[in-house]
Chains A and B, each alone.
Chain A
């Protein structure tokens, strides 16, 4: 019965990671600074805002349907999803130290989620 919700939770996390990647992509283009490409620069920014909006309402809807204790671990795993997303889509370098920090944050968040 919760399998449907699982798909939606994963989808909402994908929206969030995708939205952030689009935002970063848009801001990266600004740094290159070609004046003519204003519209092509605006497009990823709009996609990013759009995905963040989808994530926000899907997450709000899930919060009203499913217990927070079920949802929180997925939220806690978001740094991990982001690490994969950013290294694949934006070619950001993942150092061992960065992985170490991500794992510490995720385990800390999971403990916070499990605590009463």
Chain B
């Protein structure tokens, strides 16, 4: 059982981090799309052309769902390599991407307290990623 796992680990020693990053980025993209879709539904009543808005809404929603599925595929690839505990915590980096994306694309404001919380999450993700790197080097 050891040869297969170690060869997989050596071959994909860089992959988990790219996988985690892609997974988090696609989740962020899907959240932004879903939010755009949900927002468009709210002012559906006073929209000029109901049908056009409807098509646009479903466009955002479907793109959001598509991105979510892509992120799930990346998540499965990551899970094949990393222990669940490490992977689940590393993917928390999405909690940094989502506020950043909502600031950039949705025009939302990040309060200083929220920024502090995001900073602490980033620190926690770094602590875990860095400790895993060391384990990998030793192995």
Contacts and interface: CB of A to CB of B under 8 A. Distances in A.
Interface of A: 20-21, 23-24, 27, 30-33, 79, 82-83, 86-87, 90, 92, 94-95, 97-98, 100-116
Contact of B84 (A21, A104, A109): A21
Interface in B86-120: 86, 88-89, 92, 95, 99, 111, 113-114, 116-120
B85 A112 contact: no
B130 to A, nearest CB: 8
Interface residues of B, number: 33
Name, among A21, A86, A110, the residue most crowded by chain B CB atoms within 10 Å (CB to CB). Answer: A86
B120 A104 contact: yes
A33 B1 CA distance: 8
A113 B123 CA distance: 17
A31 B121 contact: no
B117 A112 contact: yes
